[in-house]
Each structure stands twice: as structure tokens, then as C-alpha cells.
Chain A
Amino acid sequence: MIKNLKKQNVWFVFTPYLWLVLFFFVPLALIFKISISVSEWGMPPYRDLFSFSENGFKINSTLGNYLFIFSDPFYIRSYLNSLSLAFTSTVLCLLIGYPIAFYVAKSKPSIRNILLIMLIIPFWSSFLLRVYAWKVLLQGSGIINSILIHIGLISEPISMLHNHYAVILGVVYTYLPFMILPLYGYLVKFDLNLIDASNDLGAKPLNTFVKVILPLSLPGIVAGSMLVFIPVVGEYIIPEMLGGSDKLYFGKIIWDEFFVNRDWPIASALAMSGIVILVFPIIIFQLMYAKYNFKNE
């Protein structure tokens, strides 16, 4: 920007560069290394990748951890469970979030700002406590059971907690703002004249929605879906608090392999596979985003 800053540029670039290499890239490389190491008892609980002994230099590398994971339906199922949880809740968030974002964006500016603040409040408040709120609500003695008994729909409290439906509910609830806010960001920039123009040219409201509004909010849909899908794949807290033993998820498996089984190589291999599995949806999202993110001016 300014010629005199040239010397300062050096640390301007390299401070964050170095930081990210050291604390982001190296750790990732490290779990890759551990994922192809042989596990053993001790501290650290894996054999060094390279060793020198009387027999000379030796590489103790193995693909065994990966083979182990992918030959055990237990792990494969947990991946699939996580992906299907992420997919289901992304779709639900979109279905619930789109109309809300649409109507908030189309409100009068005075009301819109108040509604926007009301959307941001849950976004800011503690994630953990919002999950906890559902734990309270879904209890056997919780308020939803009480209401259902009161209106006579059920006679005995039913167990709503500790199953994968509760997990989906919790995920949709906590991640909904992540879907609504980017959608809102695109819809609020939306030129309302385009809707009028489409109507004027003979398109009925439904056609206007499908042919004009939906394609123009696609970047918002993609951004929102990405913000929900990706973190939900690795989600640990919600399944732990609201879920039961009916379905196990990838995040919890890593946690347990590490903290409970203390099997670092397996945990690392799980994490590496998780990254690989996530790379595909991310690339798809990025391509869609790039394709439809034309300038709206």
C-alpha cells in the first residue's frame, strides 16, 4: 500500500504466517504422522515413526489404523451417522430458516432492525446453554411432557431425551442462526424491483420464487449450508448431552478413542479420515458458491 511500509511488510506477513504454520499446519501434520504410527503402551502411546537401533534405521509406519477403521462397521456407521445428521439438519435448518430470513429481510426497515437483533441474540448467547435448555425441556418431568399430558395427548411422560431425534432437534435449534444470518445477508440486498419485474412479465408468485428469488439467494443458501453442515459433522456436545446409545457419532468416537481408550493412533486416523470426508462437500460447496456468486449490482 505504502512504499515506506515495505520493511514492516515482512513481519506484517510473517507473524500470522508463522503462527498458522506452527499452530495449525504442524499439528495437522503431526496427527497425520501419528495416524500412521503403530500404537503401543507407554507415553506417548505410539511408537516413533523413525527409530535407530542395533538393527539400523527403521521406519515404523503402518496403514493398519486406517485399515482397522474401515474394516470395522462400528466406525463406518459413526461416519455415516454424522454425515446423515449433518445432511438432515442442514435441510431442516434451510426449510425453517429460509422463510424466517425471507420475511425478516422483507420487513420495513424499522421492524427489520429489531428482528435482526432478535436473530443475533441467540447467535451470541452460549451454545452450551442453548443445548442445555433442550435437555431441561425434554426431561421426563419437563415442560413439554407436562403440556402434552395436560392436553391429554399422552397419559404417561414419554422419554424424549437420549435418542437421535433429540440430537437433530438440538442441532437444528443451535445451528439455525448460522443458516438464517447469511441467508438474510443475501435476501436483504435483494432488489425488490426484480420481484415486481418478474410479476410484471407474467410470472405468478410461485414462478417468481423459483425463477428469480431462489437462484439469486443461492449463494446465501450455500454459505448457510456450509456453516451448518461442516461443524455438525464433527459435533460432539449435542450428541453427548441429548443423544443416547441408539446412534453414535464421529465426534464422540474421536473423543472416546482419545480420552477413554487412550489410543492416539486410532483417534488420529479417525480425525484424518474425517478431514478427507469433509473435503468433498467443501469443494462442492465452494464450486457452487463460485458459480452463483455473481455481482448483484
Chain B
Amino acid sequence: MNKLFFKIFTLTIGFSFLYFPILTLIAYSFNDNKRVMVWKGFSFRWYKELFQNEQILEAFYTSLKIASLSATFATIMGVMIGFSLTRISKIPARPFFIFLSSSPLVMPEIILGLSLLLFFISSNHIIGFPSSKGQLTVLISHITFSVAFVAVIIQSRLSSYDKNIEEAAQDLGTIPNMIFWKVTAPVILPAILSGWLLAFTLSLDDLVVASFTTGPGANTLPIVVFSKVRLGLSPEVNALSAIIMLIVILAAISIYLINRSNIKK
């Protein structure tokens, strides 16, 4: 029983540490006081102000747009890399390709951001593209660092994938051009989806790279939030945190339930 006690003790302390700050933030989002930490009473005041704050709403919209586009392009290219590296042996300068597709994983974001910004400025000088920094440059940057993450997920799925099923499909009469769509794609679909989701989250969460590569009219949500909380506290951000936590928790629960019903079947 000593062991069980130690286990419950460890898990309780561990999960309290993970959740205590988040839950406090949510609790204080209902505080009817401009001074964040002095409790005055329960109210939805900051939620109302949040939904009237055009700057935040616009940034939220920008972030969603960039994140979904970046995730989609990163997934397409990640799948291409995954297939190239596991299926195609004749790639010119293959080690260099492997280096390129895995280095963004270990590149500190501050260096990535700096290098991309300097690149965009130079490229604007030389060929006039991109004409200015903005959503396009943030998008390009996000695709660049997300590709590597998606590629890793796809590669690990493909390496444990039984190629015989493609031959089986051919044997059963599937024409070669359709095999990818009818067999391969459905099998690696979970990996593709989790790759997309990861790329989406990475983009939505990124502050540093976006801060370097952004320009007028392309303030993402983290940039706006950071500007609000860099020096002080903001009750509106508390409310925003609560909403984001709610979305994440709902998403997590629904994924859990879907998984569970799949297992039961």
C-alpha cells in the first residue's frame, strides 16, 4: 500500500503543478476588478470587453487564417518529404535533404526568425519580393518550421507501414495510380491528421518567429497578447486564457471519446 500511496502522491502533486496556474487564471478571469489579483466579485465583464476588443478579435482571425493555411501547406510538403525519404532512393544530395528536413526541429526559433527576416529584407532589395512584410511572410515562415515536424510524424508512420498491402491492392485489381488514394492515404490518414494538428498548434502558438517576420496588418494573436502582458497584467487576457483552455479541453475530451469508441468497436 506504501507504493500505491507514493504513486497517488506523485501524480497528485504533478498534476496540481501542471494545472494550478491555469485554473487560477481561469478563476481570476471572472474577477470584477481592473487590478487582476484583488478579488472584487464575480462577473463576465472581461469576457464582454474581450469580445468588443477589435484588435484581439482581428488578431485572432489573422492567427486562425495563417495557422490553417500554414498547417495545410506544411502537411502537403511534410507528406512529400516523408514519402521521398522512405520510398525514393535516388535523391540528389540525399544527406543534405535529410539535414534540411530535420534541422528546423532543433533550430532555436529566435535564430530562425532572425534569419528569415534578414532573408525577406534582402530578397525585397534584390528582386522586390516579398513587396512588404505581412501575413505572407509570417505564413512562409510558419510553413518552413512546421514542415519538419509533419515530416517526422509521416516518416515514423511510413517506416512501420506494411508495403504488402499496396501489392495486395494491386493483386486485387486496383490500378497503380489509384493505390495511393485507395490504400496508402487512408492508412496513414491518422498520421496526416495529427501532423496537420501539430502544425496548426505550432503556428497558433508562435510568437518569436512571427514577431520577426510580421509587418503592418499582420498582428497574430500571440503578438497582441504579448504586447498586452509584456509589462503588466491584463484581465482581458485572463478571459482569453479561459476561453482557449475551454476549447483545448473540449477538443481533448472529444478526441478521448472518439478514441474510446473506436477501441470498443
Contact = CB atoms under 8 A, between A and B. Distances in A.
Interface string A44-87: 10000000000000000000000000000000000000000000
A141 B37 contact: yes
A127 B239 CA distance: 16
Interface stretch (A25-33, A148-156, A193-201, A209-217): A25-33
A258 interface: yes
B185 to A, nearest CB: 12
Contact of B110 (A23, A226, A251): A251
Contact of A132 (B19, B25, B179): B25
Contacts of B25: 129, 132-133, 136
A2 B176 contact: yes
Given A128-B207, A136-B25, A121 B238 contact: no
B61 interface: no
B106 A282 contact: yes
Contact of A124 (B10, B18, B252): B252
B108 A251 contact: yes
B108 A233 contact: yes
Given A24-B144, A267-B114, A128 B226 contact: yes
Contacts of B97: 13, 17, 20
B118 A278 contact: no
Contacts of B208: 236-237, 251
Contacts of B147: 16, 19-20
A120 B104 CA distance: 23
A262 interface: no
Interface string B139-156: 011011001000100000
Given A19-B77, A30-B119, A237-B208, A103 B11 contact: yes
The B interface, classified by DSSP as helix, strand, loop or mixed, is helix
A117 B176 CA distance: 40
Given A12-B84, A99-B14, A139-B37, A129 B110 contact: no
A139 B109 CA distance: 28
A13 B88 contact: yes
Interface string A213-235: 00000000000001000110111
Contacts of B131: none
Interface of B: 7, 10-11, 14-15, 17-19, 21-22, 24-25, 28, 35-38, 77-78, 80-81, 83-84, 87-88, 91, 97, 100-101, 103-104, 106-111, 114-116, 118-119, 121-122, 125, 140-141, 143-144, 147, 151, 163, 166, 176-177, 179-180, 184, 201, 204-205, 207-208, 222, 225-226, 229-230, 233, 237-238, 240-241, 244-245, 248-249, 251-253, 255-256, 259-260
Q: Which 5 A-B pairs have the closest CB atoms?
A: A234-B108, A27-B115, A133-B21, A27-B119, A100-B14
23 contacts: A12-B88, A19-B77, A23-B141, A24-B104, A27-B115, A27-B116, A31-B115, A44-B125, A103-B7, A121-B252, A126-B204, A126-B205, A129-B25, A129-B225, A129-B244, A133-B22, A136-B28, A136-B233, A230-B108, A234-B110, A236-B110, A258-B114, A268-B118
Interface of A: 1-5, 9, 12-13, 15-17, 19-21, 23-28, 30-31, 34, 44, 96, 99-100, 103-104, 106, 113-115, 117-122, 124-130, 132-137, 139, 141-143, 146, 173, 176-177, 226, 230-231, 233-237, 240-241, 251, 254-255, 258, 264, 267-268, 271, 274-275, 278, 282
